[in-house]
């Protein structure tokens, strides 16, 4: 129940359409979380994991057809198709509502409808935005409890503000033919049916905090981005905050929780967020970031004490695992785990390597951010943190050097627009295909990319102290397929160069694509990197880059007349320099 009539009448209307047996308004209390877990343990939605090794940890095995985002079933519904742009699947709002409402009719019969008021961002931050998710999934409720600030305090803010994003979700019958993830940005509304998977069902995350928020951010003059936020404290106690955009499953969580290598003594790393950043200019023109989320929904495979010790520690208690395998003694297991062996696979079958991987490649953990040993309490600061650098990156075997710096903000927008990466298991579809993923927002930008780039460019008119922009590539390989750079904690060496550049402490090598490090300025102490590998990581192949600029030009052309002239000019002048 609520005093806000627009919220009450929407809940009533949804209830009469979906016909649940009961309605539960979520308070967000720990007792409520416990009750929901118990209900799911008794109906088999969850099972308990080894209570000694993994206290308060649970396992959910989803329907095998429902293990990732579904970009082909995700729509942005705007009156004009061009407003959604070639980067989105589009439907007219009337048609979108009609199609999806038909699937919602009576879909909650025999189920409880949960009403989840939530706040994306610190409860008292002017940069935060609220929403209400209605769902028939208890799994969604407990995940939202770990991932967002939800319940009574959020409801209070919603009642005070009077506005909120309306998210309606039902797992429906999980039939992929009857699955749709619909966004109505002009109505600040989302309707998602037929999937219980995080990115499709935890509506605060991709649907609200990226697709709807990016649309709203353009109207209100800020940015909603697919970026981690991390604080890097050097041995002198100076902390810089950087925001990094990488496509899904390319190591954002690992970078956000990085542990400094022994050869960089005295450094500390603080996690603010691992997936989404909302960026605002403050009154002084400083770009500041908040993380709208308060928990992590991370990819499990590959996590171990070497790749991400913080994550490995934080998922040892109070975590929910989805689609991992289990060992004989009922501990969770995944590819890349350094102890134990799988006994039961992610589909609940006795493990047999002939059936494929034991854990699904997109299996996930959900934990509250406070579990993370490197959690920064500034993640709760209403004013957010000042951003010194924006870093784009992708998974590229060749072409992109280890790191380079854009020559200006406008050039940085082109660098972001040109991001390309190999596709991963985070979406249902082919894995390993290189595709353009501008600003790592291809699946998440709620409007036409051409307008989005114009919005990015407009920040240069509003501030003369914007962060510097960089591009990194941790995934460069030799002709034999070996990684040239060790990655993980060692990436701090690259971040420290980035900070040195921001502080004008090092010179760099100017090339047509941007400033590359002088090889001696990348600290490689104790790394077994050959001079040739370092040379390959810090130089460019002009022929490959000419082809790349041509391909970026072709890609930008597909946005037609809406493409901002300044972006076209950036592409042309770099192409001309390379020629």
Binding site for Mn ion (CB under 5 A): 248, 275
* Least distance in angstroms from the C-beta of 253 to Mn ion: 9
Tell me the C-alpha distance between 197 and 68, whole Å.
6
451 binds ligand OXD (CB under 6 A): no
- Choose, by CB under 6 A, the member of 172, 199, 467, 517 that binds ligand OXD: 199
- Residue 470's DSSP bridge partners are 391, 405
Secondary structure tally for the chain: helices H, strands E: 16, 29
- Which does residue 199 touch among Mn ion, ligand OXD, none (CB within 5 to 8 A, set by kind)? ligand OXD
**Residue 60 binds which entry of Mn ion, ligand OXD, none, CB below 5-8 Å type-dependent:** none
The stretches of 323-478 forming alpha helices (DSSP H) are 409-417, 449-462
The structure tokens listed for 10 are: 């929407």
- Give me the least distance between CB of 337 and ligand OXD, in Å please: 20
**Which of 214, 248 has the CB closer to Mn ion?**
248
Contact criterion met (CB below 8 Å) for 225 and 446: no
**Contact residues for 371 (Cβ-Cβ < 8 A; gap 6+):** 314, 315, 317, 318, 319
Nearest-approach distance from CB 310 to ligand OXD, in angstroms: 17
Nearer to ligand OXD, 69 or 149 (CB): 69
Positions marked active-site: 250
Would you count residue 422 as binding ligand OXD (CB under 6 A)?
no
Residue with tokens 């493409």: 563
Q: One symbol per residue from 380 to 419: x for binding ligand OXD (CB under 6 A), - otherwise; what is it?
A: ----------------------------------------
Closer CB to ligand OXD, residue 104 or residue 297? 297
**From the list 73, 144, 150, 426, which residue makes contact with ligand OXD (rule: CB under 6 A)?**
426
For Mn ion, the closer CB: 297 or 488: 297
Contact residues for 87 (Cβ-Cβ < 8 A; gap 6+): 438, 442, 445, 448, 449
Q: Which does 310 bind (CB under 5 to 8 A by kind): Mn ion, ligand OXD, none?
A: none
Residue 261 interface partner, choices ligand OXD, Mn ion, none, CB cut-off 5-8 Å depending on type: none
Give me the residue label for tokens 């305090």: 153
**Does 302 engage in binding with ligand OXD (CB under 6 A)?**
no
**Residue 199 C-beta: closest distance to Mn ion, Å:** 8
User: Under the phi-then-psi rule, with left for phi > 0, alpha for psi from -120 to 50, and beta for the rest, what region is 340?
Assistant: left
Residue with tokens 């004490």: 305
User: Based on C-alpha coordinates, what's the Rg of the chain?
Assistant: 23
Alpha-carbon distance 297 to 547, whole Å?
37
User: Per CB under 6 A, does 275 bind ligand OXD?
Assistant: yes
Residue 314 or 426 with smaller CB distance to Mn ion: 426
* Pick 167 or 260: Cβ nearer ligand OXD: 167
Q: Are 127 and 384 in contact (CB under 8 A)?
A: yes
**Pick from 308, 299, 294: nearest CA to 364:** 299
| Nearer of residues 248 and 363 to ligand OXD, judged by Cβ | 248
Smallest gap from residue 247 Cβ to ligand OXD (A)? 7
Show contacts with ligand OXD in window 303-322 (CB under 6 A).
Answer: none
CB of 233 to Mn ion, least distance (A): 25
φ, ψ of residue 506 to 5 degrees: the values are -135, 150
Q: Considering the rule CB under 6 A, would residue 248 count as an interface residue with ligand OXD?
A: yes
Question: How many chain residues are in contact with ligand OXD, going by CB under 6 A?
Answer: 7
Interaction partner, residue 165 (Mn ion, ligand OXD, none; CB < 5-8 Å by kind)? none
- Measure the CA–CA gap between 560 and 557, rounded to whole angstroms: 5
Q: Which does 396 bind (CB under 5 to 8 A by kind): ligand OXD, Mn ion, none?
A: none
| Least distance to ligand OXD, CB of residue 7, Å | 28
Using the rule CB under 6 A, is 154 a contact of ligand OXD? Answer: no
- Return d(Cα 523, Cα 232) in angstroms, integer: 16
Residue 227 Cβ vs ligand OXD, minimum distance, rounded to whole Å: 11
Which 94-133 positions form the footprint of ligand OXD (CB under 6 A)? none
d(Cα 332, Cα 357) in Å, to the nearest integer? 14
Q: Which is nearer to ligand OXD, 14 or 228 (CB)?
A: 228
Shortest distance, position 423 Cβ to Mn ion, whole Å:
13
Angstrom distance (rounded) from CA 413 to CA 569: 12
Tell the smallest beta-carbon distance from residue 255 to Mn ion (Å). 13
Query: CB-wise, 228 or 556, nearer to ligand OXD?
Result: 228
Q: Count Cβ atoms below 10 Å from residue 463 Cβ, excluding itself.
A: 15
The H or E element containing residue 118 is: strand 112-120
Q: Does 69 bind ligand OXD (CB under 6 A)?
A: yes
Quick check: 66 binds ligand OXD (CB under 6 A)?
A: no
297 is an interface residue for ligand OXD by CB under 6 A: yes
Name the binder of 297 from Mn ion, ligand OXD, none, CB < 5-8 A by kind: ligand OXD
3-state secondary structure 494-553: HHHHHHHHHCCCCCCEEECCEEECCHHHCCCCCCCCCHHHHHHHCCCCHHHHHHHHHHHH
Which spans in 225-360 are helix H? 252-256, 309-314
The smaller minimum CB distance to Mn ion, of residues 142 and 244, is found at 244
Q: Are strands 112-120 and 22-25 parallel, antiparallel or unpaired?
A: parallel
How many residues are recorded in the chain? 579
Residue nearest to Mn ion according to CB distances in the complex: 275
Taking the C-alpha atoms of residue 80 and residue 361, their distance in angstroms, rounded to an integer, is: 37
Q: Which does 331 bind (CB under 5 to 8 A by kind): Mn ion, ligand OXD, none?
A: none
Please give the residue ranges that form the binding site for ligand OXD (CB under 6 A).
69, 198-199, 248, 275, 297, 426
């Amino acid at each position: 129940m609520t005093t806000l009539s627009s919220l009450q009448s929407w809940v009533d209307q949804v209830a009469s359409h979906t016909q649940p047996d009961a309605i539960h308004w979520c308070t967000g209390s720990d007792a409520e979380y416990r009750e929901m877990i118990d209900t799911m343990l008794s109906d088999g939605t969850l099972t308990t994991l080894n209570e000694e090794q993994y206290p308060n940890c649970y396992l959910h095995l989803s329907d095998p057809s429902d293990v990732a985002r579904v970009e082909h079933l995700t729509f942005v519904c705007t009156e004009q198709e061009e407003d959604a742009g070639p980067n989105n699947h589009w439907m007219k709002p009337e048609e979108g509502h009609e199609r999806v409402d038909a699937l919602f009719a009576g879909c909650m019969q025999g189920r409880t409808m949960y009403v989840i008021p939530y706040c994306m961002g610190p409860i008292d931050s002017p940069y935060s935005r609220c929403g209400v998710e209605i769902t028939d999934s208890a799994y969604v409720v407990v995940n939202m409890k770990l991932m967002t600030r939800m319940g009574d305090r959020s409801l209070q803010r919603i009642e005070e503000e009077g506005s909120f994003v309306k998210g309606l979700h039902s797992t429906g019958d999980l039939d992929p033919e009857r699955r749709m993830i619909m966004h109505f940005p002009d109505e600040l509304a989302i309707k998602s049916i037929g999937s219980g998977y995080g990115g499709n069902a935890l509506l605060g995350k991709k649907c609200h905090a990226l697709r709807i928020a990016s649309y709203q951010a353009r109207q209100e003059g800020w940015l909603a981005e697919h970026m981690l936020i991390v604080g890097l404290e050097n041995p002198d106690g100076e902390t810089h905050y950087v925001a990094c955009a990488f496509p899904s499953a390319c190591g954002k969580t690992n970078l956000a929780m990085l542990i400094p290598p022994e050869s960089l003594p005295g450094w500390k790393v603080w996690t603010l967020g691992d997936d989404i950043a909302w960026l605002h200019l403050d009154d002084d023109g400083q770009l500041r970031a908040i993380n709208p989320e308060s928990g992590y929904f991370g990819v499990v495979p590959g996590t171990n004490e070497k790749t991400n010790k913080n994550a490995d520690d934080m998922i040892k208690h109070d975590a929910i695992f989805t689609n991992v395998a289990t060992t004989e003694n009922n501990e969770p297991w995944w590819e890349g785990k350094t102890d134990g062996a799988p006994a039961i696979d992610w589909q609940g079958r006795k493990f047999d390597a002939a059936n494929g991987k034991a854990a699904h490649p997109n299996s996930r953990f959900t934990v509250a951010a406070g579990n993370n040993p490197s959690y920064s309490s500034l993640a709760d600061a209403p004013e957010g943190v000042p951003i010194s650098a924006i870093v784009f990156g992708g998974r590229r075997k060749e072409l992109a050097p280890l790191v380079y710096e854009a020559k200006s903000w406008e050039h940085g927008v082109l660098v972001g627009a040109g991001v390309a990466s190999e596709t991963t298991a985070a979406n249902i579809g082919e894995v390993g295909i290189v595709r353009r993923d501008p600003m790592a927002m291809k699946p998440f930008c709620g409007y036409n990319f051409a307008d989005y780039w114009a919005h990015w460019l407009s920040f240069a008119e509003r501030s003369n102290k914007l962060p510097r922009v960089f591009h990194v590539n941790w995934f460069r390989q030799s002709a034999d397929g070996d990684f040239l750079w060790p990655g993980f904690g060692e990436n701090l060496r690259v971040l420290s160069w980035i900070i040195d550049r921001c502080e004008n402490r090092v010179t760099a090598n100017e090339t047509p694509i941007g400033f590359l490090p002088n090889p001696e300025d990348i600290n490689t102490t104790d790394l077994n990197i050959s001079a040739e590998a370092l040379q390959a990581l810090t130089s460019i192949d002009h022929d490959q880059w000419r082809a790349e600029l041509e391909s970026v030009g072709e890609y930008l052309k597909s946005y037609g007349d809406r493409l901002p002239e300044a972006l076209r000019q950036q592409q042309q002048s770099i192409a001309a320099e390379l020629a």
